[in-house]
Amino acid sequence: MRAVAVLIEFELIERARSGDESAFNQVLQAYRKRILGTIARLIGKPEDVEDVGQEVFLRLYYSLDQLRTPEVFEPWLYRLTVNAAYDYLRRQRRRHESRMSDLSEQQVMMADASAGGKRSKEDDRHTRVREQVQSLLDKVSTEDRVLLMLKEVEGLSLKELEKIYKVNENALKVRLFRARQRVLKAYEAES
């Protein structure tokens, strides 16, 4: 998502909006990988990425007629993605609170893989980074987590974030600054 390029023609979005299912299928094909990547980084649970991704496209299908113009399609799709990720993370947080002792499937898989000793050093480093970032993000609110991911990892500009969050640039800067400070504090406490 670093290079935020429009993947499809506006005309295709227009057709999908008017109920053309083959056009919607093309939209789905064009955006699925990008959306799944964003979800994977937002939620940090590989086993649930496709489920959340399907929810995003389901919501897209049933709300596409509310899209004002095809020009705002991408921020709008991002908004749906962010909302679905929020819903998932809130559900997970509630579940986590009630079942603190359970290991996630990802953790179990990681433990199995490391026990097997099959992974390369590069994989190990990636796993360590993923775990570190996820544990860091678990220490801040869902709102901070999603905002920081979109800005720092997905590389969205303030202008793009403005369209997603529907708030002005100054308000966003303040929110970002505070979120960064909170993560920085957690990071320093951890290291």
Partner 1 sequence: MDRMDDKRGEDRLDALWAEYRQACPDPEPSANFIPQVWQRIESRRRATSSLRHWAEACVMAALTLTLLIAAFLIPRYQRQPVYQSTYADVLAEADTLDYTLVLTGGDTR
The residues binding partner 1 (CB under 8 A) are 2, 25, 28-29, 32-34, 36-37, 40-41, 46, 49-50, 53-55, 57-58, 61-62, 125-127, 129-130, 132-133, 136, 152-153, 155, 180, 183-184, 187-188, 191
Q: What is 111-145 written as a DSSP string?
A: HHHHHHT-S-HHHHHHHHHHHHHHHHHTTS-HHHH
Q: Which CB, 62 or 98, lies closer to partner 1?
A: 62
Identify which of residues 22 and 98 has a Cβ nearer to partner 1 in the complex.
22
Nearer of residues 94 and 129 to partner 1, judged by Cβ: 129
**Least distance to partner 1, CB of residue 24, Å:** 9
Minimum CB separation from partner 1 for residue 94, in Å? 23
If the CB atoms of residues 136 and 172 are measured against partner 1, the closer one turns out to be 136
Give the separation between CA 6 and CA 30, rounded to whole angstroms: 10
CB of 158 to partner 1, least distance (A): 16
Task: Compute the C-alpha angle 17/20/23, nearest 5°.
Answer: 85
Closest CA to 79 of 164, 169, 172: 164
The 3-state DSSP composition of the chain as helix, strand, coil percent (nearest 5) reads: 80, 0, 20
Smallest distance from partner 1 to CB 166, Å: 25
Output 97 or 188, the one with its CB closest to partner 1: 188
CB of 99 to partner 1, least distance (A): 25
